[in-house]
Amino acid sequence: MEFETFEPVYESILADFGFDRASDERARDVLAELTTPFNESRLSVLDGEHVAICGAGPTLAADLDASDADRVVAASSAAAVCRDRDVPVDVYITDLDGEPELAGDLAAAGTPVAVHAHGDNVERVRSVVPQLPDGPVLPTTQAAPVAHVRNFGGFTDGDRAAFLADHAGAARLSFPGWTFEDPDVGPMKRRKLRWAARLLGWLERLRDERFVVLDGLRDDIEPLP
């Protein structure tokens, strides 16, 4: 997705959470300084494939057992569940919120790691990114892309994973480990998951696909943009 298409939605997210665009831009610029251009041919493993976009909800382990996807994109701590179940991760998406060792281990194994910088994680970007090998790191932003820092659309790690897989040509997306109405998440996470649902609703319309994970929710989520 082009940033011009995403920008009005980004502005609504900023307004809803009270996030500051200039802080996102500063974080993006720090990430640009700490990284080198990512060779996007590394994402071609997703092209034409049925890609599982793994979320960190409580059903992930069981959903993985039942999944017939060709490829796995793991969002944040979902990658730890994949690792524990010996499910290989093809692409890892993170804002470095969880275990920083996961990003290091996956990048060391050559797995593409999409590292996201935003206004509230710049210190983690500064401490973790210099430890990662250059080639597998795909730097991302939710603000306007600059230099080699990319924005494929999306907000939370999970829905950004879906927008990235879409960009990489995935033929079908499924969503193991996604629970939008999760009683165990706090109010902030709940709000973020609402946005994730809206963003996935937008993406399924753009792709002319129906994501089963949204069944029963569509009447309830405000359409974007």
- Contacts with ligand ATP by CB under 6 A lie at 55-57, 75-78, 95, 97-98, 156-159, 178-179, 182, 185, 192-193, 196
* Residues between 68 and 127 that touch ligand PH2 (CB under 6 A): 95, 118-120
3-class DSSP state of 203: helix
Among the listed residues 61, 113, 65, 54, the one whose alpha carbon sits nearest the alpha carbon of residue 84? 61
Smallest distance, Å, CB 69 to ligand PH2?
23
Rounded to an integer, what distance in angstroms lies between the CA atom of residue 98 and that of residue 72? Answer: 19
Residue 55 interacts with which of ligand ATP, ligand PH2, none, CB < 5 to 8 Å by class? ligand ATP
Nearer to ligand PH2, 150 or 192 (CB): 192
Sequence-distant (6+) residues with CB within 8 A of 198 are 221, 222, 223, 224
192 counts as binding ligand PH2 under rule CB under 6 A: yes
Among the listed residues 53, 112, 110, the one whose alpha carbon sits nearest the alpha carbon of residue 78? 53
Residue 120 interacts with which of ligand ATP, ligand PH2, none, CB < 5 to 8 Å by class? ligand PH2
Nearer to ligand PH2, 71 or 192 (CB): 192
Nearer to ligand PH2, 97 or 209 (CB): 97
The helix (run of H) or strand (run of E) holding residue 7 is helix 3-17
Q: From residue 19, give the alpha-carbon distance in Å to each of 119, 159, 166, 221, 224.
A: 7, 18, 26, 22, 19
195 counts as binding ligand PH2 under rule CB under 6 A: no
Nearer to ligand ATP, 41 or 94 (CB): 94
**Contact string 153-172 vs ligand PH2 (x = CB under 6 A):** --xx----------------
Nearer to ligand ATP, 57 or 145 (CB): 57
3-class DSSP state of 60: helix
Nearer to ligand ATP, 36 or 191 (CB): 191
Sequence-distant (6+) residues with CB within 8 A of 23 are 118, 119, 120, 122
Q: From residue 5, give the alpha-carbon distance in Å to each of 12, 72, 117, 126, 154.
A: 13, 26, 20, 29, 11
Among the listed residues 58, 59, 76, the one whose alpha carbon sits nearest the alpha carbon of residue 67? 59
Contacting ligand PH2 (CB under 6 A), which of 3, 7, 19, 70? 19
Binding interface with ligand PH2 (CB under 6 A): 19, 24, 95, 118-120, 142, 155-156, 192
